[in-house]
Structure formats: structure tokens, C-alpha cells
Amino acid sequence: MSFKIGLLGLGTVGTGTAEILLSPDGRHPLVQELEVYRVGVRDLSKPRDVQLSKEILTTDLEAIATDPEVDIVVELLGGLEPARSLILKAIAHGKHVVTANKAVISRFAEEIYDAANEKGVYVMLEAAVGGGIPIIQPLKQTLGVNRIQAITGIVNGTTNYILTRMQNEGVDFADVLADAQKLGYAEADPTADVEGFDAADKIAILASLAFGGRIKLEEVYHEGITKVGAADIAYAEKLGFVIKLLAVAKQMSVKSNEPEQLQVRVHPTLVPKQHPLASVSGVYNAIFVEGDPIGQVMFYGRGAGAGPTASAVVSDILNIASILKTSVLPQPPTPILHPLLACTHQHYCQIAPMEELVTRFYARFLTNDNPGVIGHLGTAFGNHGVSLESVVQTGFRGDLAEIVVVTHDVREGNFRQALAEIRALEAVDSIASLLRVL
């Protein structure tokens, strides 16, 4: 018995995937039964790092998605189109789909999973979050018996690499970015990574799996790392924190008569040094999950790269092949899909507005060197019920005094009102930065 794989895309991850499939020795025996049947590429003449016979390659991607011989379509094109259309076409033709495409899944999950459920096929996406780190399958298969309380992840390698270097070298964002681009750790257009779009896609996917509902991507708050300064990293260090771009999905504590709400958000965050996420450095990713009754678990590994991502892709293929070997063939109109591998969410999770978030804040103010200024700040915070953990005048920037404030837990809406009052104070020049604290 062999399973015919149609691969869409032969870039970095596609090549890594083909390499695993073509070298089954020393891997799970079932890998031998996976056949690279067709590979869709843009340019047939381009030299390739992987040895594939010419008859396998084609530029007609749609022909792969609709080929009656193909069992599993593996979409590794990236981007929204033609990836989305090809996935839908493959599903319509009764093919199982494996994808690493977080952008498509986070935007079109409803359309894709409705189609897949109707057709009785699987759409698997282990590679879409955390590269090689097993996180999607554990969330579906092992952690699902828990009531998940929170997922907190470092899910973007580019920004973690930049923040780690800023911390180690004491330099500013812009200095590291240029170098990261030269080294291939950041794209020529780094917007998706550094502005938090990529992390937002990923936390939307994780939240959906962990909390069993669909997520509207436009409701996911995200804020990037471009405004994090070397000064903030240095002050955080002194206060016992490192700054990480965290993607968070968390159950709000609500009163029994109120509907359940989730926070789903991405932003740079001060992480206490003793927290397991604090020591996740460079291009590594980690996802920290809290649930009842499991407590805290963390998954750590390389969040990108050909090898790790291809490992995740092939593990999805292997899971589908295993099901196909042992299952009743799903028959429309009432296909029976494996309850832990299929996605059958029907409702949308309710996402709480950011004003309702309760968290600690770190803020850095530049003020005139006025003896009363700390008192003014304290009064303004007090007027809005914001209680302060520490207020330190750290020194001067030019003529201006620099004051760093860390609050106790506060409702974000109240904190923002206090900031509005502070901005209006004559002694205050500017709010140089504003970060949340884990």
C-alpha cells in the first residue's frame, strides 16, 4: 500500500519535505509507503537541491490538486493566493491536505474546514505554528482533556532573534534589523514579523485549537517590537525581566452570569527572568500552556527552517496515512472523521476588548526636571485606580528626566485614562515607551 503525495511548492520547506520522503531509512517504517507522486513548481528549469525525476515536476498546480491519483496534497506555497484556492480545490476533489500556511488558515479556517468536513477529508497544519515543535498535535490529542486556561508563546523567530541580540549587545532595533536581514533571519520586507502580524496568525490558530472555537483574525490585537528601545531592555534587565514578543490567548475570569471571553493578543512583554519563556533565545520558539488539571507545560524548539518545518509537514502526512490504513473510508453525506484530528468548531469565540485586560504595565516617561513631577504622575495614576509597584527616576536624556514606572495589576482601560491625564501634564514631555508585564 502506498500513499501518493502531491507537493505544491519546492522552496525551502518543500525541498526539506521531499528530502525526508525520499530517504525513509532510519525513520518510521510508514515513511516508506509515502510516494512523492507530483511536485508543482513555478520554474521547471531551476536547479534543485533534491533529486526528483523530471516526470514528477509540473508547473500545473491545479492539475495536482485535482489529480484522481493523488491522496494527499501538501501545500507549501505560502501567501494567500493561489494557496487558498488550491487547498479548496484539493478538498473539493476529496484529497486530504497538509499545509504550513498560517496566513491562509488563520483567515479562511471557516471556509476550509467547512469544506473539509463536508467532504470527509483532513486538513492538517502542524507546521503552521512553531516550525518543528510538536504543538498542534499535542493540543488536539493530548491536552484536549484539559480545560485550557492560557497559551503564551514566543512564536516568531525573527523578532526573538532581534530582541535577543538587542539584549546581548545593548543596541537598538534598527541596528539589529539590518544585520538580521543580511544574515537571512529577517525578510527584505520585515513587516509581517516585526509588526506582529505573523504572531497574530499563529496565536489565532492556537487559540482556536485550545479553546475549541473559531477566532476572527481581525479581533486579535497585535503590536510589534519596532518601538522597543535599548533603554527599555536595559531597565527591564535591572528590574529582573527580559523583553519578549509574546502571543497570548487566555480565558478571562468572568462572573458566572456573563458569557465566556478570551483575550487574544500579541505584544512585546516584560517576562520575569525565572519564567521558563525568559530563557528562550535567538530563533528558538516556545509555547507555554496552562490547563486544568495538567498545570504548566512548555514546548520548545526551532520555530522555522527547512528541517524542522519539514519534520512537522511529514508528521502530518504520516498521521493521515495511518488513519487511511485503519479507518472506515469516510462516506459523504455522513463522513466519520477522527474526532481528535478533524476540526469541527462551529461557533466563534468571543474576544474581550483590550480595555478589559487586567495586567501590569511598564512605562517610561520623559519629563521636565521638576521636583513635583513624580507626585503629579502618582496623583494621575491614583485618580484612575492605578496602583504603582515602583517609580524610579533613572536619569536624564538630554535635558529631560527619565522616569520608569511599573504598576500593579490594573484594567487596561483605567491605565489608558490615567495616561491621557498624564500626557496633558505640563511637566511631562512624552511617553517614551509602554509595555505590558507578564
Binding site for a copy of itself (CB under 8 A): 16, 19-20, 26-31, 126, 132-134, 137-138, 141-147, 212, 276, 279, 291-302, 305-308, 310-312, 314-315, 318-319, 321-323, 325-328, 336-341
| Interatomic CA distance for residues 127 and 193, integer angstroms | 17
Q: Using the minimum distance from each CB to a copy of itself, give the nearer residue, 177 or 278.
A: 278
Q: What's the closest the beta carbon of residue 137 comes to a copy of itself, in angstroms? A: 5
Site of grid cell 513631577 = 373
Whether the CB-CB separation of 283 and 161 falls below 8 Å is answered with yes
Give the burial class of 270: count Cβ atoms within 10 A of its Cβ; 0-12 exposed, 13-18 middle, 19 or more buried: buried
Q: What's the closest the beta carbon of residue 297 comes to a copy of itself, in angstroms? A: 4
Q: Using the minimum distance from each CB to a copy of itself, give the nearer residue, 315 or 359.
A: 315
Q: How many CB atoms lie within 10 A of CB 429?
A: 18
Q: What's the closest the beta carbon of residue 293 comes to a copy of itself, in angstroms? A: 3
Q: How many CB atoms lie within 10 A of CB 231?
A: 18
Q: How many CB atoms lie within 10 A of CB 374?
A: 19
Q: Is 266 helix (H, G, I), strand (E, B) or coil?
A: strand
Instruction: Give the residue among 350, 372, 388, 356 at the shortest CA–CA distance from 426.
Output: 372
Q: Name every residue whose Cβ is closer than 8 Å to that of residue 275 and which is 6 or more positions away in sequence.
A: 438
| Interatomic CA distance for residues 368 and 243, integer angstroms | 27
Q: Using the minimum distance from each CB to a copy of itself, give the nearer residue, 115 or 341.
A: 341
Site of grid cell 504622575 = 377
Q: What's the closest the beta carbon of residue 373 comes to a copy of itself, in angstroms? A: 40
Name the CA dihedral angle for 111, 114, 120, 123, rounded to a multiple of 10 degrees. 50
Instruction: Give the residue among 56, 83, 87, 57 at the shortest CA–CA distance from 72.
Output: 87
Site of grid cell 509515502 = 34
Per DSSP, the residues of 63-104 read: HHHH-TT-SEEEE---SSTTHHHHHHHHHHTT-EEEE--HHH
Q: Using the minimum distance from each CB to a copy of itself, give the nearer residue, 311 or 367.
A: 311
In the annotation, is 202 catalytic? yes
| Interatomic CA distance for residues 415 and 390, integer angstroms | 15
Q: Name every residue whose Cβ is closer than 8 Å to that of residue 23 and which is 6 or more positions away in sequence.
A: none
Residue type, 15: T
Measured CA distances, 128 to 100, 122, 200, 425 (Å): 4, 15, 12, 46
Site of grid cell 528558538 = 284
Residue type, 307: G
Instruction: Give the residue among 49, 405, 36 at the shortest CA–CA distance from 235.
Output: 405
Among candidate residues 89, 140, 202, 244, the one labeled active-site is 202
Q: Using the minimum distance from each CB to a copy of itself, give the nearer residue, 86 or 262.
A: 262
Q: Using the minimum distance from each CB to a copy of itself, give the nearer residue, 28 or 416.
A: 28
Q: Using the minimum distance from each CB to a copy of itself, give the nearer residue, 293 or 372.
A: 293
Active site residues: 202
